[in-house]
Amino acid sequence: MTPSLTNPLLSLTQLDRRAPARTQEPFPVTGALRDRFGRVMNDLRLSITDKCNFRCTYCLSPGATFLPTSDRLTTQELVRLGHLFARLGVQRLRLTGGEPTLHPELTTILSELSPLFDDVSMTTNGSLLTDKNARAWKAAGLHRITISIDSVDPVRFRTITRSKVDSAVVIDGVRAAIGAGLHPVKVNAVLLAGVNEADAPALAALARELEIEVRFIEFMPLDQDGGWSDRAVVQSKSTLQRISDVFTLVLEGRDRPDRTAVRYRFLDGAGGSVSTIAPVSEPFCGECSRIRVTTDGYVRPCLLARDEWPLLPLLRSNASDRDLELAIREAVWNKDQGGALTMGPIGGRTMSAIGG
């Protein structure tokens, strides 16, 4: 169905986006969510807001603005899509943003969606991760959590996040997550050349102290400032060398073929681990099982895709579940093969807009 311009919940932003490129091959209308390369999508990244209270240098500009509420998926629409993806065989759900803990109905979303999936996780900057909130989210059905910490140094942390939040607050949030049983607790860190690359050993020490996994992610071209360049990327092999100068590491590998992180244990038997995620220097697209839905209701088959597939107009024009399912299946079928990171602007979208 074609959405009506008179619908107050539809904006020109949704209606004016260019149509995505489509393969001429017919896509399967039943069975698993499979792309044309045989990969099955069973991992959904669902962005519940684009809003964020940080302005991280590798993501948002200092004066970043966000979508009007009417352009975001409502709680009801998020829940409907969650049910639909679960029926299509998706087993794992990750709530993302922006900063998902800013959503006023986060606990409702968790309680509605958690019974549908084998694994329910969330990525957060940890600024609102208190003991009380961690327990409430756990009770609502959250299984595990990933927290972003790009430096343990308070000054560098505030510089990178462009916030007044201290790194100690976020580290306390990690402890709160551990105490609430949101296992396994993981920490993500993006290292930037000439900024915080020297923090790798300190972050590895945090992994040992708290017995958690700290994951080092290469800087991708998803920043609003347009400051990405290959010179700003700290490659994973460099990070591992810095850590190995302090702690001897033992390669453990990936948990599953579709995992992005390569894990290393500490030779001395200390708890915790470090992992590398290297989309720039060592692309890992071959076994990808992920599909993303943005907060404004687009299916994004790949984080680094240029094409998106609109669901919001269907949701707001009384489309049936079958109509939505076919739109999702077509989007998945058109997922790129990948295999290499194409450098440059990614469709004008930041990580905050896409959902990590």
The Cα–Cα gap between 324 and 125 comes to: 32
Please give the backbone phi and psi of residue 143, each rounded to the nearest 5 degrees, phi first: -90, -45
Q: What per-residue confidence (pLDDT) applies to 151?
A: 97
pLDDT along the chain (356 residues), means of 10: 32 44 77 94 96 92 92 98 98 97 98 98 98 98 98 96 96 98 97 94 98 94 76 93 98 80 96 92 78 95 84 96 97 79 54 77
Q: What per-residue confidence (pLDDT) applies to 255?
A: 76
The Cα–Cα gap between 109 and 75 comes to: 7
Structural contact between residues 265 and 211, judged by C-beta atoms closer than 8 angstroms: no
Report, in this order, helix, strand and coil percent for the chain, each rounded to 5.
35, 15, 50
The Cα–Cα gap between 210 and 147 comes to: 13
The Cα–Cα gap between 332 and 27 comes to: 9
Residues in the chain: 356
What lies within 8 Å, CB to CB, of 292 at 6+ separation is 44, 45, 46, 47, 299, 300, 301, 302, 303, 354, 355
For the chain, domains (ranges, CATH) are 36-354 (3.20.20.70)
The Cα–Cα gap between 306 and 20 comes to: 8
- Half-sphere exposure for 272 (CA within 13 Å, toward CB): 20
Of 178, 182, 97, 113, nearest to 145 by C-alpha is 182
- Scan for tokens 């290469």, then name that residue: 218
Handedness of CA 56, 58, 62, 63 (dihedral sign): negative
> What would the two tokens of residue 140 be?
């609502």
The Cα–Cα gap between 113 and 92 comes to: 11
Torsion angle defined by CA atoms of residues 318, 308, 22 and 326, in that order, rounded to the nearest 10 degrees: -30
DSSP annotation of 272 reads -
The Cα–Cα gap between 269 and 294 comes to: 41
DSSP annotation of 222 reads -
Q: What per-residue confidence (pLDDT) applies to 16?
A: 40
Q: What per-residue confidence (pLDDT) applies to 119?
A: 98
Of 67, 51, 90, 7, nearest to 290 by C-alpha is 90
Q: What per-residue confidence (pLDDT) applies to 349?
A: 74
How many other CB atoms sit within 10 Å of the CB of residue 133? 18
Q: pTM higher than 0.85, yes or no? A: yes
What lies within 8 Å, CB to CB, of 78 at 6+ separation is 46, 48, 109, 113
Please give the backbone phi and psi of residue 101, each rounded to the nearest 5 degrees, phi first: -70, -10
